[in-house]
Amino acid sequence: MSTIVRLENIALHFPRQRGILTGILDLLRGKMSAGKGKFTALQNVDLEVQKGEVLGVIGRNGSGKSTMLRVMAGIYRPDEGSVKVSGRTSLLAGVSVGLNQNLTGRENVHLYGSILGHDKDTMESMMGDILDFSEIGEFFEQPLRTYSAGMKARLGIAIASAIEPEILLIDEVLGVGDPQFREKSKQRILDLVDNTSTVVLVSHSFGLMKEICDRVVLVHEGKIVMVGEPTDVIAKYYEITG
């Protein structure tokens, strides 16, 4: 397999949330020197994702795993290091990211497609598949704000997978919905991989990781601790998190 995503020595820093009064006092005292008031979200991250694999990413909340996914998607630009992506990416993060609450399901299909550069005719050709897979019925013509969280997740997964991106990045969404739909979503991912797509999956569902992932990455405190077989990496997770 060839490398489709390469992260080399990535570092990413975010400003800390500080009170207004504290910030003003620090400025007056000259305390806001370089590096102060920031925290490091990712540090020394090196990772290669192979074409056609399902790569799982695990770690505690706040460990940096979702941030790393957004670096791959091009949403965050790293402060240090380089990102090389050889393919069209689609990020599915949260139950309605990239969707508009005031638009109908159908209108959101067109919106999501346009963001990825697909024209109206292309998205219309996918509409039947998206409607069938999402199982939201008559709500497809209703505003997204009337949907439950599970319905939003089903629509998001249906759109993202119907487009068949070369690289599908999924952040926790597969944990939403009933067991039957979760199984359906799992099979959809496997079908995408069979059709040469690459999937990077952030999840707390270790059972799912063991079932569908070729490798798993453990992220801890902004660093990659281990990459390897799902069972071994999950064992390491429990070891370091106690």
Judge if 135 and 206 occupy the same domain: no
Residue 224 is assigned to a structural domain of this protein:
yes
The pLDDT assigned to 204 comes to 87
What 3-state DSSP class applies to 123? helix
Shared-domain flag, residues 169 and 145 = no
Please list, in sequence order, all residues whose beta carbon lies within 8 angstroms of the beta carbon of residue 87, skipping any fewer than 6 positions away: 4, 51, 165, 166, 167, 198
**Other CB atoms closer than 10 Å to residue 117's CB: what's the count?**
8
- Same domain, yes or no: 187 and 228: yes
pLDDT of residue 113: 86
Bigger pLDDT: 3 vs 29 = 3
Q: Name the residue with tokens 């993060």.
A: 93
Please tell me whether residues 228 and 117 are part of one structural domain.
no
Query: How high is the mean pLDDT of the chain?
Result: 86
Q: Is residue 79 part of a domain?
A: yes
Angle at 198 between CA 80 and CA 116, to 5 degrees: 75
State the pLDDT at residue 34: 42
pLDDT digits (tens, 9 = 90+) for 220-241: 999 999 999 999 999 999 999 8
Structural domain boundaries enclosing 191: 3-88+165-241
Residue 51: what pLDDT? 93
Task: Reply yes or no on whether the pLDDT at 151 is more than 60.
Answer: yes
Confidence label for 30 from pLDDT (cuts 50, 70 and 90): low
Shared-domain flag, residues 23 and 53: yes
Tell me, yes or no, whether 112 and 178 share the same domain.
no
Q: 180 and 135 share a domain?
A: no
Same domain, 78 and 118: no
Helices (H), the chain: 20-28, 65-73, 105-115, 120-134, 149-162, 179-194, 206-212, 230-241
Choose one of 146, 164, 182: the last residue of a domain. 164
Is 50 exceeded by the pLDDT of residue 150?
A: yes
Instruction: Please check whether residues 181 and 120 belong to one and the same domain.
Output: no
Per-residue b or e along 93-102, where b marks 16 or more CB atoms closer than 10 Å to that residue's CB = bbbbebbeee
Of residues 45 and 190, more confidence is placed in: 45
The reply to whether 94 falls in a domain is no
Residues of the chain with pLDDT > 70: what percent?
A: 86
Q: Which residue has the higher pLDDT, 154 or 8?
A: 8
- Torsion angle in degrees (nearest 10) through CA of 206, 210, 211, 216: 100
Average pLDDT over residues 135-146: 94
Shared domain for 9 and 78, answered yes or no, is yes
Give the residue with greater pLDDT, 218 vs 153. Answer: 218
Residue at 95 is within a domain: no
What would the mean pLDDT of 212-221 be, rounded to a whole number?
96
93 in a structural domain: no
Number of domains in the chain: 2
Residue percentage of the chain with pLDDT more than 90: 53
CATH number at residue 42: 3.40.50.300
Q: Answer yes or no: do 39 and 16 share one domain.
A: yes
